[in-house]
Every structure is written in C-alpha cells, then in structure tokens.
Structure 1
Amino acid sequence: MGVDVQVTNLTKQFGKQLIWKGVTLTLPAGEISVMLGPSGTGKSVFLKALIGLIKPDEGSIVIEGTDIASCSEKELYEIRKLFGVLFQDGAMFGSMNLYDNVAFPLREHTKKSESEIRDIVMEKMDMVGLLGAEMKLPGEISGGMRKRAGLARALVLDPEILLIDEPDSGLDPVRTSFINQLFVDLNAQIDATFLIVTHDIHSVRVVPDQIGLLYHKHLAMYGPREMLLSSDEPVVRQFLNAQTIGPIGMSEEKDADQLAAEKDMDLPPLPPIPLQMEPSNGIPRRAQRPAGEWCRLNGVTPPPGSFTREAEHASGHQS
C-alpha cells in the first residue's frame, strides 16, 4: 500500500535562477497524480527533490514522519527504499541484458539468493509484458520495451511510491495508450502512490486521480482531475485544453499587448471531461471515484457531454 507525500512551501533556485517557490501539495496514498507544465518549469527538478537528489532551499517533504529535506544521509537512504523510479529514457545499462538490468537493484540492495532474485525478476517482467525478452540487450528492443523494462526494474523492490518521468517521451500514441493502461493496472495491483510527469494532454485527461500544474515559478493548481478539467482559471484552462488563448505564449508568458488583444476574444468552450481509464480487469482501483462525483459534491456543472464514451473518444483526438 502506498504512502502519502506531504510537500510544504518547497522552494528551489540555482544561483539567481528561481525554479519554483512555495510549492505545497499532498500526494495521496495509493493514488495516481500527474504533474505537468510548460517546458522549463522544473518538473524533473521536483521529482529529484522528492527523492532527495536535490535539496530544496526552503520547505519540507515529509514521508512517514521523516522530512527528507533535512534528514540525515542514513535516514534518507532508508526512505529511498520506498521509491521506485522510471527515468525518461529507461536509463538501462547498455552492456547488460534486460534480466540483469532488472535484477540490478536486488543484487545491490538485498541479500537475496540468485534463485529468489530470478523469481522476483520474472514476476516483474511478466507484470510489464516482457516475458521471453529477458536475454535481449537494450539496444535490440524498441523504445516502448525499454520503458517497460525500466518499469520492471523500478518495481523489483516493491516500492510504495513510484516516480515516472515523461513515460510518453519518444512513444507514438498507440504505445502511449498501452503504457497508460499499464500504469492504471499496476496501480490497481500494487496500490502504490504514483507521480507521473508528462506533457501528453490526453494522458492527463484520462489517467490520474490528481493533477498538478507548475507555471511561472509556482504551483498554479493541484487537485482532483475533475476540478482541473472543469476549471476556468486561465493558465489551467489554456494548458489542459491545448488552447492558444491565455497567458502562456510560445516562450513563457505573453506580453501585455498580446494579452490585451485577446481580452475581448471569446474562449472556445471547455471540452467534455472524459471517463477515467479503468483497470483492464474491470475491478475498480481503491482510489477510483464514480464519474462526476467531484463535480456533484462541489456544485460544479461539467461541460456538456462529460463522462461518456464519446467524450473519452473526443479527448483522444484532441491531443
């Protein structure tokens, strides 16, 4: 079962360059959260801070009562055992076959016998659909297979928190859909806390329980999927619906003249909120909520046509 991650007033800068300031959120235990934002807003830096590779200048990151922003190296080493990480490119050792790549954390961090290691490695490779490919080298397989192998390696220590950096990078839409389904199925199976960094808007609209948006050196919004997909907050609405009208420009922010020119322009309507992706076995995840529940509980009228198969299909064509 996953654990929650409580982030409070997190601030980081490199020299005079402020990355983000005052980031506060809680990744709920066992839920799938997604973090997105324009390029260069510090999403990968945020992941590195969560696992203690980068120390924030201010704030705290509390996991099971330990603040990893200020704890000792020994405490950090223990907390890191709760994490699994899927790097953007898979980060496989090119000279090792997939079996040895996946077995590497077990050989480094446990005293298990080779027989026990084999059982675990084969179980995890089966979970990600790679049985039969264990003797292949990373250079002999597709990008999608390398990501799945990286995911198997991230799973071998049975993590309670899984950090995933741009899993759709370099994948075509079909493979992206397959890996999204794999994340949902794995969350249902292992009940870990997931945080996915992505730019893929379709994935953001159908996969997570929670969505966060980093923009202009702060956390613009973080909360339930339905809250952000029905939001009229300008930067959230613009980014999640891939619109040109709004504060985000080609580089970062639009200038005052551009914003003034858009002031009287009619915004396109919000698209329908699609159904959330479900586990392939049809059994709901622990964190899964009935479609439209957040909107009903908060008195929000969702866009027309929301929570239908047609909306799900339309969302797939939008990205």
Structure 2
Amino acid sequence: MGVEIRVEGLTKAFGRQTIWADVSLTLPAGEISVLLGPSGTGKSVFLKTLVGLLKPESGHIWIGDRDLPRLSEHLLYETRKLFGVLFQDGALFGSMNLYDNIAFPLREHTKKSESEVRRIVMEKIDMVGLVGAEGKLPGEISGGMRKRAGLARALVLDPEIILFDEPDSGLDPVRTAYLNQLIVDLNAQIGATFLIVTHDINTARTVPDNIGLLFRRELIMFGPREMLLSSEEPVVRQFLNARRHGPIGMSEEKDVSELEAEAKLGHDPGQLPPIPPQLMPTDGGVRRSQSPPGSWLKAHGVQPPPGSFIDDLGRDWVQEWPRHVASRTPVAGAQPSMGGPGR
C-alpha cells in the first residue's frame, strides 16, 4: 500500500529566482495525482524536492512522521527507498540490457541472491509487458518500450510512492494511451501512491484521482479531478481548454497590458468541455481510491458540463455505475469490479 505525503509551505529558489513558494498539498495514500502547469513552472523541480534530491528553502515534506528536508543523510537514504521514479527519458544505462538495467537497484541496495533477483526482475518485466525483450539494449527498442523498462526498474524495490516525470514525453498519442492504461493497472495492482507530472491534457482528464496546477510560482489549485475539471478559475479553464485567451502567455504569464487588451476585446474563454469517465483497470475492476462518477460534483452542488461521464459507446456512467458495481463479484483487495468507462 502507498503512504500519504503531506507538503506544508514548501518554497524552492535558485539564487534570487523563486521557482515556487508556499506550496501546500496532501497526496492521499494509494491514489493517483497529476501535477500540471505551463513549461518552466518547476514541476520537475517539485518532484526532485519531494524525493530529497533538492533541498527547499523552507517548508515541510511529511512522509509518516519523517520531515524529509530535516532528515540526516542516513535517514534520508532509507526514506528514499520508499520511492520509485520514472524519469522523462527512462534514464537507462545504454551499455546494459533491459534485464540488467531493471536488476540494478536490487543489486545495489539489497543482498538478494541472483535467483531471487531474477524472480523479481522477471515479475516486473511481465507487469509492464516486456517479456521477451529483456536481452535487448535500450538503443534497440522504441521510446515507449524504454519508458516501460524504466517503470519496471522503478518497481523492483516495491516502492510505496512512485513519481512519474512527464511519462508521455516523446511518445505519440497511441503509446501515451497505452502507458496511461498501464499506470492505472499498476495502481490497481500494487496500491502505491502515484504522482504524475505531465503536459498531456487527456492524461490529466482521464487518469488521476486528484489534479494540481502550478502557475506564477504558486500552486493555484489541488484537489479531486472533478473539482478542477469543473473549475471556473481562469488559469485552470484556459489550461484545460488549451486556449490562448487567459492569464497564461507564451513565456508563462501575460503582462498587464496583454490581459487588459484581451478584456477589451471580450474574448469568450470557451465552455468547459465534458468531464470524461475516469479510465478503468483493464480487468474491469474498480481501484480502491476511485469514486463514483459525479460524486464530488453532487456533494458540492456543482452542475457538470453537458455530456459529462458519457463514454465512447454512449453509456452514461453516472447511471451505469451502481448497476455494474452491484453486478460484479468483488476481487481481492479491491472494490467490486465493473465494466470500464473511458475504454
């Protein structure tokens, strides 16, 4: 199972340049969270700070009763073992085949026998769908396969927290869709806490339980997926609609004159798009952290955009959810399973 991460008043700067300030959020245990933001807002810096590779100027990162920025080197080293990281480019060793790349953390950090290492490595290779490719070098496989190999390596120490730094970077839309499905399936299977940094709007709209948005050196919002996808906050609405009209400019933020000019023209920021059904595990199960479609909106009296929660087969999952959950046999360690919206 995953662990909760509590971030309180976190500030990071390089010299006189503040990257972001006073960031506070809670990554719930076992849930999938996504962090969005325009280029240059410090999303990757946030990941590196979470894992202790960078030290913040102020603030706290609580993992259980441990405050990461204030740990001794020994305790920091031990706490990092809770993390697995998928880097943007996979960060594989080019001279090692996939098997040895994936086995590297086990050989470096444990005293397991080679037979035990092989059992674990092949198990993770199977989880990410790379059986048969373990003898290949990183240069002999596609970008999508390198991402999956990097993910297998991130999994070998059975981490309770997995960080994904732009996993869709360099992938075409089809491979991104496959990777998104793999992420959802892994979360359902291992129950770890996932945080994904991404620019991909489809990933943000369909995969996570929670979404956050960094902009202008601060965390604008962080909360349940439905809260952000129904938000009227201008920067959130602009980013999720991928429109030019709004606070975000070519170099992150627009100046006052640009915003005033837009206001005089009276540009319509556009209607919020329908909220899609959340992506389901391939086996049709329901992840432990997954909520019924529309439940946050109903609880807070928010009307969803027209067409929300309708899948590509025309099924309305607000209506379908209770019938399908009731019709399925519960699976071990999860809620009752069901057919999948968003598939």
Most deviating of 241-250 and 164-173: 241-250
Answer whether contact 1:41 1:214 (CA < 8 A) is retained: yes
Q: What is the one-letter code of the residue matched to 1:245?
A: H
Q: Out of 297, 300, 303, which is 2:299 matched to?
A: 297
Does the C-alpha gap of structure 1 residues 311 and 165 become closer, same or farther in structure 2, counting only changes over 3 Å? farther
1:317 paired residue number: none
Answer whether contact 1:120 1:156 (CA < 8 A) is retained: yes
1:85 paired residue number: 85
- SS of the residue aligned with 2:249? coil
- Separation (CA, whole Å) in 2 of partners of 1:136 and 1:266: 52
Q: Note the C-alpha offset of 1:266.
A: 2.2
- SS of the residue aligned with 1:136? coil
1:27 is aligned to 2:27: yes
1:99 paired residue number: 99
Q: What is the one-letter code of the residue matched to 1:8?
A: E
Q: What is the one-letter code of the residue matched to 1:102?
A: I
1:285 paired residue number: 287
Tell me the number of residue pairs that the alignment of Structure 1 and Structure 2 aligns: 313
- Gap regions ≥5 residues in structure 2: 316-343
Identity of aligned residues (%): 71
1:271 is aligned to 2:273: yes
Q: What is the one-letter code of the residue matched to 2:78?
A: E
1:225 paired residue number: 225
- Separation (CA, whole Å) in 1 of partners of 2:174 and 2:83: 28
1:169 paired residue number: 169
Q: Note the C-alpha offset of 1:267.
A: 2.4
Q: What is the one-letter code of the residue matched to 1:126?
A: D
- SS of the residue aligned with 1:45? helix
2:129 paired residue number: 129
Q: Deviations over 1:209-261 (max 9, x none)?
A: 00010000000100000000000001111111211111001112112222122
1:194 paired residue number: 194
Answer whether contact 1:273 1:311 (CA < 8 A) is retained: no
Q: Note the C-alpha offset of 1:268.
A: 1.1
Q: What is the one-letter code of the residue matched to 2:299?
A: L
Q: What is the one-letter code of the residue matched to 2:129?
A: G
Q: Deviations over 1:109-149 (max 9, x none)?
A: 01100000000000000000000000000000000000000
Q: What is the one-letter code of the residue matched to 2:290?
A: Q
Answer whether contact 2:86 2:164 (CA < 8 A) is retained: yes
Q: What is the one-letter code of the residue matched to 2:268?
A: D
1:316 paired residue number: none
The alignment's TM-score, normalised by the length of structure 1, stands at 0.96
- Separation (CA, whole Å) in 2 of partners of 1:127 and 1:210: 24
Most deviating of 71-80 and 16-25: 71-80
Q: What is the one-letter code of the residue matched to 1:108?
A: E
1:114 paired residue number: 114
Answer whether contact 1:35 1:196 (CA < 8 A) is retained: yes
- Separation (CA, whole Å) in 2 of partners of 1:198 and 1:94: 25
Q: Note the C-alpha offset of 1:265.
A: 2.3
- Separation (CA, whole Å) in 1 of partners of 2:199 and 2:314: 18
Answer whether contact 1:27 1:33 (CA < 8 A) is retained: yes
- Separation (CA, whole Å) in 1 of partners of 2:283 and 2:191: 15
Q: What is the one-letter code of the residue matched to 1:294?
A: W
- SS of the residue aligned with 1:239? helix
Q: What is the one-letter code of the residue matched to 2:60?
A: S
Answer whether contact 2:238 2:269 (CA < 8 A) is retained: no
2:184 paired residue number: 184
Q: Note the C-alpha offset of 1:106.
A: 0.3
Q: Deviations over 1:76-117 (max 9, x none)?
A: 111111100000000000000000000000000011000000
2:6 paired residue number: 6
The 5 A counterparts of 1:204-283 are: 204-263=204-263, 264-283=266-285
Does the C-alpha gap of structure 1 residues 311 and 24 become closer, same or farther in structure 2, counting only changes over 3 Å? farther
- Separation (CA, whole Å) in 1 of partners of 2:212 and 2:2: 19
- SS of the residue aligned with 2:69? coil
Q: What is the one-letter code of the residue matched to 1:37?
A: G
The alignment's TM-score, normalised by the length of structure 2, stands at 0.90
- Gap regions ≥5 residues in structure 1: 314-319
Q: Note the C-alpha offset of 1:74.
A: 0.9
Answer whether contact 1:274 1:312 (CA < 8 A) is retained: no
Does the C-alpha gap of structure 1 residues 6 and 267 become closer, same or farther in structure 2, counting only changes over 3 Å? same
Does the C-alpha gap of structure 1 residues 294 and 274 become closer, same or farther in structure 2, counting only changes over 3 Å? same
List 4+ stretches of structure 1 deviating above 6 A.
Answer: none
